[in-house]
Structure 1
Amino acid sequence: MKRDRGNAGIGVWKVERAAGGDVVVQEARDRQPRVMALDTFMAERAADFVDAGALIDQPFQARHLEGMIRCYMSGGRLVGFGHQLVRALAPPEAGPAPPRLYSGPDDARFQRLRSLLGREWTPQMTRLLDLEPDALPVIWDADFLLGPKAPDGEDTYVLCEINASSVFPIPDEAPDALAETMLQRLVAARDRSTAAIHQRKSKSTNSVAGANA
């Protein structure tokens, strides 16, 4: 379970059924599990519902220790990757988390994920949320964990979360693409503004001509 907003494993719990009405609870930043009644755990979470907050029931992914893949996006375009081994909910012997490693959009390890995200998942998301493609942020990211292997042996991917603020740091290859997206947005906004001015002037001219007639 996880809060609808958080970072760095804060507000993430692994909850497993135990004997009777108890559950085994492990907080992502604490490697010592606790056994408690489910009602007690939910009572502790009451503060998470203040101001219309929420808890998200997210299925546990057994391959999470193989790493999380962060896909850096600009509009609908993938501009780089970040790969980090996850240590949240890891056993004590796993040791500390190494730093996230960054790479450009052509990283051979993640091309299938790149294709799925660009051709299928991002367009599906914009349709589901009723967003125009140009309404996507200039910089945002989507984090994926590895799901179960497909029958053909291919990896599957499970969306962990989407970040649309505080996205930095980013891969070295990303800034040029971000600047290009921003320039395109500014040019499009200028063209729309110019077209609107011309349209208002045209209506004003037509109104004057009609009055004189």
Structure 2
Amino acid sequence: MDKKVIFFEVEGGTDKGPDGYRPDTMPMVEALKQRGQDAEVLFFDITKKQEIFHYVKEHGIAYVSRINPGNLQHEDEYFAMLRELCQAGVIGMPHPDAMISYGSKDVLSKLTTTNLVPDDTFAYYTIEAFKTQFPTSLALTERVLKQNRGSTGEGIWRVKLVEPLAEGITEVPLDTQIKCTEAKDNHVEYWQLGDFMTFCEQYITGTNGMLIDMRFLPRITEGEIRLFMLRDHPVHVVHKKPAATEDAFSATLFSGAQYRYDKPEDWQELVQNFLKQLPQVTNLLGNYDLPLIWTADFMLDTNEAGEDCYILGEMNCSCVGFTSELALAHEVAEEILACIKEHTEAIA
């Protein structure tokens, strides 16, 4: 029996076309079928979890997860099913733990030993750790706080002192005035540090709650550079330039950023440095197979020698879309087939 590649989606959500599927899913299914590989889409439904599991275990050679986390109400159960499928020999694209590892914001704190992330980048999993470290971080330089949940810049704050500290002070007092800009829409709020930190406790509490604290990079105004990856090779580069207003630092379309699509060859230095570090990145993130479709976002900085360098801002791999570049479906199909071939040969 020829086994199928199963694409997982979930019903509903703003990422669907008129046919009820994500616009980039059926092009991949069709591209595989054109190459002689059967494929189909299944909608994950918690009430049919066992039925879906048994069907995919029997009929699937691999799965491709195309569920946007924002549309998934039963993420833990979905991931548990994917783990069972991987254990049963179905090829995971990606493995659920790779999705968590590569997609979580704390990827940054795990990669401070590479040259991709500054070593003064911190992850706060408890309110106590946040209260202890953040006033000291802010005394050194302007900061960006990123919540683990949310999307399109929600809960990502640029934090700046309104007045510089007196010389010799290494911890910002809690009654200090700060200027906070949220990436969602670049709006500005003024707070006392202590009150703002209390407000931010919501990001640390609850499931997967956490805050990342990293230095603000002023050259974000020159744009964010997104590498669109198929496993271990970059396919294209999206240059995302924030709106040209005083406080703008968000590179989302919603906030007015301009997008430009470049070839990887146009960003050779960045691409080569990243690929050179990929084995170390994979090792630090749990040694899972690289996700099928994922992105790595970078910002420009200047190193101590005064040269350009690139700082990793985040990675995404849960459900990276390519609806504006649907021709990529053919490259994705080739990558899926290559992955299946590698796994099959490794078992043989």
The answer, yes or no, to whether TM exceeds 0.5 is yes
The one-letter code of the counterpart of 1:33 is V
**Counterpart pick for 1:142 among 291, 296, 314:** 296
What is aligned with 2:275? Answer: 118
SS at match of 2:256: coil
Is residue 102 from structure 1 mapped to residue 261 from structure 2 by the alignment?
A: yes
What is aligned with 1:161? Answer: 314
What is aligned with 1:17? Answer: 161
Cα distance change, pair 34–86 in 1 and its aligned pair in 2 (3 A): same
The one-letter code of the counterpart of 2:260 is L
Contact 1:31 1:90 in 2 (8 A): no
What is aligned with 2:344? Answer: 190
| Cα displacement (A) at 1:140 | 0.2
What is aligned with 1:130? Answer: 286
| Cα displacement (A) at 1:99 | 3.6
TM-score (norm 1): 0.75
| Cα displacement (A) at 1:186 | 1.2
Contact 2:302 2:308 in 1 (8 A): yes
What is aligned with 1:211? Answer: none
The one-letter code of the counterpart of 1:184 is A
SS at match of 1:182: helix
Is residue 47 from structure 1 mapped to residue 206 from structure 2 by the alignment?
A: no
The one-letter code of the counterpart of 2:222 is E
Listed one character per residue, the Cα deviations across residues 56-95 of structure 1 (whole Å, up to 9, x for unaligned) are 1011001111001000111111111111102398437xxx
User: Could you tell me the percent identity over the aligned residues?
Assistant: 31
Q: How many residues align?
A: 185
SS at match of 2:319: coil
Listed one character per residue, the Cα deviations across residues 88-144 of structure 1 (whole Å, up to 9, x for unaligned) are 98437xxx63442223333x2x11111111122x12201212315xx1111100000
What is aligned with 2:192? Answer: 37
Output the CA distance in 2 between the equivalents of 1:39 and 1:88: 31
Output the CA distance in 1 between the equivalents of 2:245 and 2:180: 10
Output the CA distance in 1 between the equivalents of 2:332 and 2:185: 37
| Cα displacement (A) at 1:192 | 4.5
Output the CA distance in 1 between the equivalents of 2:295 and 2:212: 19
The one-letter code of the counterpart of 2:317 is A
Contact 1:145 1:160 in 2 (8 A): yes
Contact 1:4 1:53 in 2 (8 A): yes
**Counterpart pick for 1:28 among 180, 183, 187:** 183
Cα distance change, pair 140–183 in 1 and its aligned pair in 2 (3 A): same
Contact 1:68 1:145 in 2 (8 A): yes
Cα distance change, pair 179–97 in 1 and its aligned pair in 2 (3 A): same
More off after superposition, 178-187 vs 26-35: 26-35
SS at match of 1:9: coil
Larger Rg: 1
Structure 1 runs not aligned, ≥5 long: 196-213
Listed one character per residue, the Cα deviations across residues 13-72 of structure 1 (whole Å, up to 9, x for unaligned) are 111234552222222234443322222112212221222401110110011110010001
More off after superposition, 76-85 vs 20-29: 20-29
Contact 1:9 1:88 in 2 (8 A): no
SS at match of 1:33: strand
Cα distance change, pair 181–175 in 1 and its aligned pair in 2 (3 A): same
SS at match of 1:72: strand
CA RMSD of aligned residues (A): 2.6
